[in-house]
Amino acid sequence: GENVEQHPSTLSVQEGDSAVIKCTYSDSASNYFPWYKQELGKRPQLIIDIRSNVGEKKDQRIAVTLNKTAKHFSLHITETQPEDSAVYFCAARGGSQGNLIFGKGTKLSVKP
């Protein structure tokens, strides 16, 4: 089945700097790669996603890139702000059941 590895597990940046979180997946049939943000005490919410037929997608300060050959995808946050502080989860959908398989999460701290 699918396996998703996520790095780093914790990331601390200064406000205004960029943050990059990387994930690798194992199932070459996976076709959908979302990123979820979970603020402290809140539910996970989708912030951006990418399909396997697209190499890059942007939405204001966040972007996701996908390299199907290497089976890895990354989240890029530019001009970070304190409200970006949260746990970020990458995921991949594949397999016969089509369930999302999540990475273990990255705790991002943005220091003012």
Cis peptide bond upstream of 112, omega within 30: no
- CA-CA distance, 74 to 59, in Å (whole number)? 14
Is the Cβ of residue 9 or residue 79 nearer to another protein in the bound state? 9
By CB under 8 A, name the one of 8, 12, 15, 46 that touches another protein. 46
Q: Which residues contact 105 (CB under 8 A, 6 or more apart)?
A: 6, 9, 38, 87, 88, 89
Question: In terms of CB distance, is 27 or 32 closer to another protein?
Answer: 32
- Closest CA relative to residue 26, chosen from 94, 88, 106: 94
| Residue type at position 18 | S
In the list 7, 26, 102, 109, the residue contacting another protein (rule: CB under 8 A) is 102
Nearer to another protein among residue 27 and residue 78 (C-beta):
27
Query: How many alpha carbons lie under 13 Å from residue 44 in its C-beta half-sphere?
Result: 14
Q: Which residues in 20-39 contact another protein (CB under 8 A)?
A: 31-32, 34, 36, 38
If the CB atoms of residues 75 and 87 are measured against another protein, the closer one turns out to be: 87
Chain residues in the site for another protein (CB under 8 A): 1, 31-32, 34, 36, 38, 40, 42-46, 49, 51, 87, 89, 93, 97-102, 104-105, 107
